[in-house]
Amino acid sequence: MSFPPSQHRVEEVPLLTDRLGTRRSLTVHRFGTPGARPKVYIQAALHADETPGLLVAHHLIRRLRSATVSGEIIVVPMANPTGIAQIVEGVHVGRYALDGSGNFNRHFPDLIAGAAERLVGRIGPDPQANIQAVRAALRATFEALPAPDSEVAALRHTLMGMAFDADIVLDLHCDQESVPHLYAGDPLWPELADLAALLGVKAVLLSPDAGGKPFDEACSVPWWTLAARFAADGPIPAACVSTTIELRGKADVDDAQADADAQAILGALIRRGIVAGTPPDLPPPQCEATPLTGLARVVSPVSGVIAFHRAVGDRVEAGDLIADIVDPTAADPDQARTPLRTPGGGIIMARNNLRFVSRGELVASIAGPEPLNSGHSLLFD
């Protein structure tokens, strides 16, 4: 089957590199009409060692090639060529940049202050006109940013440049071992409830601003922040529906599951009229949304072997034993175990995929309804 030039285009976008003799680029698939609305941006493996999204993107591209698209859909199936190349003695290090730039999914450009300056006197009673004004202010702010001065900064700048003005942004990640879950801003719920149901999501964590400027929040948080700042002038809708989707664990890479996830994403786009087709029926939701402040991060106070007593997806109550940390060098084996108990009830959303931990290392994450922490910087280390 052939497709008109406007339907499917593949671009190679060159990236700045820090080393002579090296080249990197992003492969970008574009569907629909350039510049048309709605604009959808989807990327995978910003944390380059998180593989499930790569296969989901493959299946999504395959399905979109035969779809009729209203608007524009951009898919970046492998969003981090720098991180893909980071192999240290046979171990893939894809979460953090080895040049010292930190977590790849942090420190994206903050456009809020610059946009706010440009919006003074431009917000009025028409919400649609306000959306256009905000997008124009965000673009002017982005275009005024200084040129990036490193390979990782250039990667962040390039990705952000394709997504900051999108109507929908989906950032595909995974955890170590986990059930499917997603993170989003409070104003975007229940807008994302259909996508969560189609993906079989078992935990939804909401926050107005979790901190650290991850990719999804760099795109979406400006909207409700600016809405609050200009509330007296007129309404600004949350016009960028952006979320981080955690596609289970690192080892959950399977053709059938990836294709089902791609079909779920496509179904959500069909339901919004962006892709032609019969809207899928929604399965029953697997969870209620809970606050990010209700996420318990269980860390080990000692080093040793993890002996788990509960699996991902299990529901627990406060005080339940979820694991022992075993010191096999203890003189008395009866004194070799340090029990780890959950501080609050909820679902074991994720757990460490290794079985030996250092003191202070994360063992499990439990999503619950009751606030246990501030929420800020909880996920962004």
What is the mean pLDDT of the segment spanning 251-259?
98
Helix locations, the chain, DSSP H = 52-64, 81-84, 112-119, 127-143, 151-163, 193-199, 215-229, 255-271
Write the DSSP symbol of residue 275.
B
The model's confidence at residue 374, banded by pLDDT at 50, 70 and 90, is: low
Encoded amino acid at 315, one letter: R
Residues 101-144 pLDDT 10s: 999 999 999 999 999 999 999 999 999 999 999 999 999 999 99
**Domains of the chain, first to last:** 8-287 (3.40.630.10), 292-367 (2.40.50.100)
The model's confidence at residue 7, banded by pLDDT at 50, 70 and 90, is: confident
Let me know the angle formed at the C-alpha of 246 by 160 and 162, rounded to the nearest 5 degrees.
15
- Identify the pLDDT of residue 253: 98
Residues 143-157 pLDDT 10s: 999 999 999 999 999
Residues 201-210 pLDDT 10s: 999 999 999 9
Rounded to the nearest 5 percent, the helix, strand and coil shares of the chain are 25, 30, 45
Write the DSSP symbol of residue 292.
G
**Dist. CA 75–CA 273, nearest whole Å:** 18
Residues 305-341 pLDDT 10s: 999 999 999 999 999 999 999 999 999 999 999 999 9
Q: Using an 8 Å Cβ cutoff, are 79 and 45 in contact?
A: yes
**Dist. CA 235–CA 265, nearest whole Å:** 29
- Identify the pLDDT of residue 244: 98
Q: Using an 8 Å Cβ cutoff, are 79 and 13 in contact?
A: no
User: What phi, psi does 377 have (nearest 5°)?
Assistant: 65, 15
**Has residue 376 got a pLDDT over 90?**
no
Structure-token match 């318990």, residue found: 296
**Has residue 269 got a pLDDT over 90?**
yes
What length does the chain have? Answer: 381
- Identify the pLDDT of residue 186: 97
Count of other CB atoms within 10 angstroms of residue 140: 14
Structure-token match 């690192």, residue found: 250
- Identify the pLDDT of residue 380: 45
- Identify the pLDDT of residue 4: 55
Token digits of residue 281: 């029926």
Write the DSSP symbol of residue 264.
H
Structure-token match 């610059």, residue found: 114
How far is CA 10 from each of CA 42, 52, 78, 374, rounded to the nearest angstrom? Answer: 14, 22, 13, 43
Count of other CB atoms within 10 angstroms of residue 292: 24
Residues 177-205 pLDDT 10s: 999 999 999 999 999 999 999 999 999 99
- Identify the pLDDT of residue 3: 47
Tell if the pTM clears 0.75, that is, is over it. yes
What is the mean pLDDT of the segment spanning 28-37?
96
Is the bond leading into 190 cis (omega within 30 degrees of zero)?
Answer: yes
